Amino acid sequence: MSARSRTLALVASLATGALVLTGCGGDGDSSEGSGTLTMYYPVAVGGPLTDVVDELIASCSEEHDIEVEAVYSGSYEDTMTKAQTAARSGQGPDLAVLLTTDLYTLIDNELIVPLSSVDDDLSWAEDRFYPAYLASGEAEGELWSLPFQRSTIVQYHNKEIFEAAGLDPESPPTTWDELVDQATTIQAEGAAEFGVEIPSTQFGNWMFQAMAIQTGVEDTAGVDGIVDYLDDPGSVEALEWWKSMVDDGIMPSGTTEWASTPEDFLQGRTGIMWHTTGNLTNVKSNADFEFGVSMLPANTQPGSPTGGGNLYVFDKGDEDTRADAYTIAKCLTEPELAAEWSMESGYVATGPEAWETDTMAEYAEEFPQAAVARDQLEVAVGETTSHENGRVSQAINDAIAAVLTGGTEPQDGLTQLQSSIDDILAPYQG
Amino acid sequence: MTAAIPSPSAAPPPEERRRRFSLRSRLGDQLFAWALLAPAFVVLIAFTHYPIIRSAWSSAHSRGGDLGVQQYQRLLEDPVFWQVLRNNLWFALGTVPTSMALAILMAVWVNNKLRGKAFVRLAYFTPTILPMVAVASIWLFFFSPGIGPIDQLLNAVGLPTKNWLGDPSTVLPALMVMMIWKQAGFFMIFYLAGLQNMSPELEEASTLEGASRWYHFRRVTFPLLMPTTLFIFVVAVTDAFKIIDHLFIMTGGGPNNASNLLLFYIYDTAFSFFDPNYAGALTMALVVILSLIAIIQFTVLERRVHYR
């Protein structure tokens, strides 16, 4: 090799090294100081909703002259992961829509700020939001987040299948016994492959909480981030009921996918499904049959947990940035915008003022299914919100799957589950 | 290279000159080699060695930040860890031998003089070109209860259908089938390359000697393919531990961890449970397992491989 080509090779290799290094360096300087807010948001239900969110944000951004960079960040879980990892390297969002159940996890990791630190007077929130929704943003005597895309579980039924099975399409089940009876009839008459589907993956813990509430179990939402309702006799009864429906074959065997349940409903494979109201618009625009929406049936009492995501202001940047983030969050929950968001997505408009807007009132009259979730709020309970939310909800889902697939009996499974959750939460026990 | 040597004013005796020359040039070559390797090292250190050290360091801390072996105690007592480890071993055992056997079979088949072999080769290779996420989405549909083609087929011939991905006893085998489908074509390409390198005289000689084709394959072709086999074996085993894309799409590790694999559990622990210390301990377990496999492969098996 000649000296010249050798020098060339050296220069080339050093240049590559330098390139690699600068590539790793990131753009720490360029992204800051421009005064732009970063906001993460997930889309957890069917339908092309990113455009709608982008529009809402753009209108708030214009109104308050605050630049917002809205980042669609996948599912709730993806968004939480991204927000957490980014925040650790100081590049996190200023504002994010995350599950209400992640509240304690966010507080424990010191990622968010209480809203009283940016606004002395939060009394407006009590007028704007339903108490059931507002409550899930509260912890340690502070309000931490604003309700944005909120839901409850509702019961969808396919009216054509009901007719084919000789049932009254206008009277969906209101009790557990009726549900089992009607589902059995649907299947026996061959009107659909399955009578009912209740998803048991991803948000199976949410469905289970609904059944526990309906059986009269107290404090299913957890107290100060500690969950201990799982080995309650009512919880055991709830899981036994769920399992009996799987064993009787009126529900699919094994676990039922969260994401494929609406698909099964739309394809007419099941007569009834329990799912989030967040899927209402998806079902409405894709069903080629008449469908009804009703409150969840009661065992000893009716009820459903609330669900969905709130707007969190992150502990990042200076006070001005946080104030800006709060302004945008507050703007996004204004009645007109909340109404629009509800109509486009199917999420429940978060407060009475939103339902009183002209467009929403008109919509509710035309499409009464939309109001069911609102009416159900009367009997709704906050969803289970725990320290170490990821691990706890995974543990609950695992236990449900173990029972539904025949691995363990409800009583044993739930006793074991509660003791493992006690272990996980031991460091947080006051 | 002689041009680079400056000529000294007073010429030293020849031996000394030679010694100095070789020393300097050796030193120069060393430096030069290191400089050329530097970029690769930088990348390797930044993205492989440093993260491993960081994981080890983080795994030696409790969540509160105290130094200790607490995370490893937890690991030994964690039933989910043992389950994902068991799953992973079954997954490797179920996918590696089958996909390798299929690969060699397909390679021998498309190496023959058959009509339309280019088409068959392409057909076998297609699954490999697809991204794992796409493959997972396709198979999610195949396996979907009731509406998926597999259940439709079973239904048509009157066999009972199954919720393949929702049943702990079928979920892992179902994923294995998909993995074999995806991987076999990839491994076939290596075997095909090996076969094409083989001189035709070997086969002619066998024919002259009256050896059967099976005998020829067993005693000549297969031994000569051993280096390829070792290579594929290494890739296949590490892939069984490394590829988890499909879990995100298809099962999320469920039901009740029946399809959870070690790397997916690490991801969950680090990014869904936000427990980097325990994730570090799990990562160390994975590193140890992969290193052990590598050592076994390259010490025990290497000796049985004939290189030409």
Would you call B276 an interface residue with chain A, using a CB distance cutoff of 8 Å?
Answer: no
d(CA A76, CA B115): 53
d(CA A356, CA A337): 12
Asked if pLDDT for residue A18 goes beyond 60, the answer is: no
Query: Is the CB of A254 less than 8 angstroms away from the CB of B271?
Result: no
Structure-block tokens of residue A325: 């983030």
Band (pLDDT 50/70/90 cuts) for residue B84 is very high
d(CA A21, CA B176): 39
Around Cβ A261, how many Cβ atoms within 10 Å? 23
Measured between its terminal Cα atoms, the distance across chain B in Å is 34
* B chain contacts of residue A402, beta-carbon cutoff 8 Å: 255-256
Nearest one of A102, A137, A107, A143 to A122, comparing CA atoms: A143
Q: Min CA distance, A356 vs chain B (Å)?
A: 39
> A394 vs B21, which has greater pLDDT?
A394
- The CA-atom distances, in angstroms, between A167 and each of A39, A159, A194 are 48, 9, 15
> A24 vs A277, which has greater pLDDT?
A277
Please identify among residues 179-198 of chain B the ones whose CB lies closer than 8 Å to any CB of chain A. Answer: none
d(CA B160, CA B253): 25
Asked if pLDDT for residue B145 goes beyond 60, the answer is: yes
Give residue B65's pLDDT: 78
- Model pLDDT for residues A151-196, shown as the tens digit of each residue: 999 999 999 999 999 999 999 999 999 999 999 999 999 999 999 9
Nearest CA in chain B to A405: B167
Stretch (H or E) spanning A46: none
* B chain contacts of residue A427, beta-carbon cutoff 8 Å: 63
- Sign for the pseudo-dihedral over CA of A29, A31, A36, A41: negative
d(CA A263, CA B146): 12
Asked if pLDDT for residue A289 goes beyond 50, the answer is: yes
Q: B119-127 long-range CB contacts below 8 Å, 24 or more apart?
A: B121/B192, B124/B184, B124/B185, B124/B188, B125/B185, B125/B186, B125/B188, B125/B189, B126/B185, B127/B181, B127/B182, B127/B184, B127/B185
Query: Is the CB of B167 less than 8 angstroms away from the CB of A269?
Result: no
Band (pLDDT 50/70/90 cuts) for residue A200 is very high
Please identify among residues 13-32 of chain B the ones whose CB lies closer than 8 Å to any CB of chain A. Answer: 32
Nearest CA in chain A to B276: A85
Q: Min CA distance, B91 vs chain A (Å)?
A: 20
Instruction: Compute the average pLDDT of residues A33-49.
Output: 76
Nearest CA in chain B to A80: B272
Asked if pLDDT for residue B7 goes beyond 50, the answer is: no
Band (pLDDT 50/70/90 cuts) for residue B201 is confident
Percent of chain A with pLDDT over 90: 69
Q: Min CA distance, B160 vs chain A (Å)?
A: 12
* A chain contacts of residue B32, beta-carbon cutoff 8 Å: 6, 10
* A chain contacts of residue B148, beta-carbon cutoff 8 Å: none
Instruction: Compute the average pLDDT of residues B243-263.
Output: 91
Mutation choice for B interface testing from A22, A77, A239, A398 by most B CBs within 10 A: A398
Stretch (H or E) spanning A81: helix A76-88
Give residue B2's pLDDT: 42
- Model pLDDT for residues A320-369, shown as the tens digit of each residue: 899 999 999 999 999 999 999 998 888 899 999 999 999 999 999 999 88
* A chain contacts of residue B252, beta-carbon cutoff 8 Å: 201-202
Band (pLDDT 50/70/90 cuts) for residue A89 is confident
Give residue B188's pLDDT: 92
> B227 vs A317, which has greater pLDDT?
B227
Q: Can you tell me which residue has the tokens 């090996």?
A: B194
Instruction: Compute the average pLDDT of residues B162-172.
Output: 89
Q: Can you tell me which residue has the tokens 């799912």?
A: A275
| Contact (Cβ atoms closer than 8 angstroms) between residue A388 and residue A226 | no
The pairing of strands A145-158 and A304-313 is antiparallel
Q: Min CA distance, B285 vs chain A (Å)?
A: 20
Give residue B161's pLDDT: 82
Structure-block tokens of residue A396: 């609950």
| Contact (Cβ atoms closer than 8 angstroms) between residue B175 and residue B164 | no
* A chain contacts of residue B258, beta-carbon cutoff 8 Å: 405
CB neighbour list of residue A363: distance below 8 Å, 6 or more residues apart: A339, A343, A370
d(CA A96, CA A82): 10
Asked if pLDDT for residue A19 goes beyond 60, the answer is: no
Asked if pLDDT for residue B9 goes beyond 60, the answer is: no
* A chain contacts of residue B271, beta-carbon cutoff 8 Å: 81, 84-85
Give residue A244's pLDDT: 96
Asked if pLDDT for residue A41 goes beyond 80, the answer is: yes
Asked if pLDDT for residue B252 goes beyond 50, the answer is: yes
Query: Is the CB of B256 less than 8 angstroms away from the CB of A407?
Result: yes
Q: Min CA distance, A66 vs chain B (Å)?
A: 31
* B chain contacts of residue A253, beta-carbon cutoff 8 Å: 162-163, 166-167
Give residue B8's pLDDT: 47
Instruction: Compute the average pLDDT of residues A300-315.
Output: 94
Query: Is the CB of A201 less than 8 angstroms away from the CB of B254?
Result: yes
Beta bridge partner(s), residue A270:
A194
* B chain contacts of residue A397, beta-carbon cutoff 8 Å: 254
- The CA-atom distances, in angstroms, between B232 and each of A396, B190, B235, B289 are 40, 8, 5, 18
Give residue B306's pLDDT: 62
Asked if pLDDT for residue A50 goes beyond 90, the answer is: no
Question: From start to end of A163-322, where are the E strands?
Answer: 194-197, 270-276, 291-294, 304-313
Give residue B200's pLDDT: 84
In this prediction the ipTM stands at 0.79
Nearest CA in chain B to A270: B146
The conformation of residue A254, written as its DSSP 8-state character, comes to S
Nearest to A24 among B46, B146, B147 (CB): B46
Instruction: Compute the average pLDDT of residues B25-38.
Output: 84
Query: Is the CB of A390 less than 8 angstroms away from the CB of B274?
Result: yes
d(CA A260, CA A251): 14
Query: Is the CB of A193 less than 8 angstroms away from the CB of B146?
Result: yes
DSSP string, chain B: -GGGSPPPSSPPPHHHHHHHHHHHHHHHHHHHHHHHHHHHHHHHIIIIIHHHHHHHHHHTB-TTS-BSSHHHHHHHH-HHHHHHHHHHHHHHHHHHHHHHHHHHHHHHHHHS--TTHHHHHHHHHHHHHS-HHHHHHHHHHHHSTTTSHHHHHHHHTTPPP--GGGSHHHHHHHHHHHHHHHHHHHHHHHHHHHHHTS-HHHHHHHHHHT--HHHHIIIIIHHHTHHHHHHHHHHHHHHHHH--HHHHHHTTT-STTTT--HHHHHHIIIIIS--HHHHHHHHHHHHHHHHHHHHHIIIIIGGG----
Structure-block tokens of residue A109: 């990791």
Q: Is the pTM of this model over 0.80?
A: yes
- Widest distance between CA atoms in chain B: 99
d(CA A421, CA A178): 34
Nearest CA in chain B to A269: B146
Please identify among residues 230-269 of chain B the ones whose CB lies closer than 8 Å to any CB of chain A. Answer: 252, 254-258, 268
A380-389: b (≥16 Cβ within 10 Å) or e: bbbbbbbbbb
Beta bridge partner(s), residue A275:
A154
Nearest to A398 among B38, B257, B273 (CB): B257
d(CA A92, CA A85): 8
User: Which runs of consecutive H residues, i.e. helices, occur in A250-334?
Assistant: 260-266, 280-286, 319-332
Give residue A47's pLDDT: 62
Query: Is the CB of B257 less than 8 angstroms away from the CB of A81?
Result: no
